[in-house]
């Protein structure tokens, strides 16, 4: 039974079974590999260096990777995986310089009333509806009517005054594109959406150009303009 410099009893006469310290009187380079430990190539690492990571030895186990100097290998610490490279994303405000011009369109109103819907007799054209402009910014601009119960506040809010009753709470959305343009999507609105007088298919991406006119509800006209 050997005794290590710290005072531990060790059955191994080369390294302490308890702390792994090199026992006194042991030659710096062993004449032959210990039977219980795998041989390490003599030119791979120094005797006191970890053969796996090269860190200086401080005890039985390597503090960097967990290598067992007595048994050879073992408690390896899995290095953290490298995080994936971030994917390219769209800027916060692509397509800057675009604006939506919102107004009441009497021609559109008369065409809607002429269709004779169930509420046509109760919908009147607003006597005063000043034109307003909403800058198109961010990744999307929603068109609809605000709703407290649904915690919904669209960027183009047609709840008024005057309120356009023909607009769904979440009627349509304008989506920014990487090339600086915008596209229109009708989100399944009850009364539909027109682009330059033509019906827009629900959930279809429709490119928009400078001067295009979007009609929603009973009278609302939204003209998109660049610059």
Q: What's the average pLDDT block by block, 10 residues per block, for the chain (227 residues)?
A: 72 71 57 47 54 74 70 51 51 67 96 85 92 96 93 94 94 96 96 96 97 97 94
3 state SS of 61 = strand
Query: For 98-226, which CATH class?
Result: mainly beta
pLDDT given at position 64: 67
Query: Distance (Å, rounded) from C-alpha 99 to C-alpha 97?
Result: 7
Query: Distance (Å, rounded) from C-alpha 74 to C-alpha 68?
Result: 6
The boundaries of every CATH 2.60.200.20 domain in the chain are 98-226
pLDDT given at position 197: 96
Query: Distance (Å, rounded) from C-alpha 3 to C-alpha 200?
Result: 89
Query: Distance (Å, rounded) from C-alpha 208 to C-alpha 158?
Result: 20
Counting beta carbons within 10 angstroms of the beta carbon of residue 166, is it exposed (0 to 12), middle (13 to 18) or buried (19 or more)?
Answer: buried
CB 146 within 8 A of CB 139: no
CB 180 within 8 A of CB 95: yes
pLDDT given at position 117: 76
pLDDT given at position 26: 52
**pTM, rounded to two decimals:** 0.58
pLDDT given at position 57: 73
Helix (H) or strand (E) holding 107: helix 106-114
pLDDT given at position 53: 75
pLDDT given at position 219: 96
């Amino acid at each position: 039974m050997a005794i290590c410099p710290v005072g531990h009893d060790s059955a191994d006469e080369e390294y302490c079974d308890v702390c792994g310290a090199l026992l006194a009187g042991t030659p710096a380079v062993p004449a032959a590999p210990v039977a219980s430990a795998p041989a390490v190539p003599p030119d791979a690492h120094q005797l006191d260096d970890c053969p796996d990571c090269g860190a200086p030895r401080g005890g039985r186990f390597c503090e960097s990777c967990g290598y067992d100097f007595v048994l050879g290998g073992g408690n390896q610490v899995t290095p953290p995986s490298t995080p994936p490279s971030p994917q390219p994303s769209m800027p916060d405000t692509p397509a800057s310089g675009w604006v939506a011009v919102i107004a009441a369109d009497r021609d559109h109103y008369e065409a809607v009333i002429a269709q004779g819907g169930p509420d046509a007799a109760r919908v009147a054209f607003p006597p005063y509806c000043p034109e307003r402009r909403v800058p198109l910014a961010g990744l999307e601009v929603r068109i609809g009517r605000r709703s407290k119960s649904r915690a919904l506040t669209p960027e183009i809010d047609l709840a008024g005054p005057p309120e356009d009753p023909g607009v769904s709470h979440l009627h349509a959305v304008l989506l920014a594109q990487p090339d600086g343009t915008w596209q229109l999507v009708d989100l399944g609105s009850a009364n539909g959406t027109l682009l330059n007088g033509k019906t827009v298919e629900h959930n279809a991406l429709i490119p928009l150009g400078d001067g295009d006119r979007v009609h929603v509800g009973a009278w609302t006209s939204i003209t998109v303009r660049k610059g």
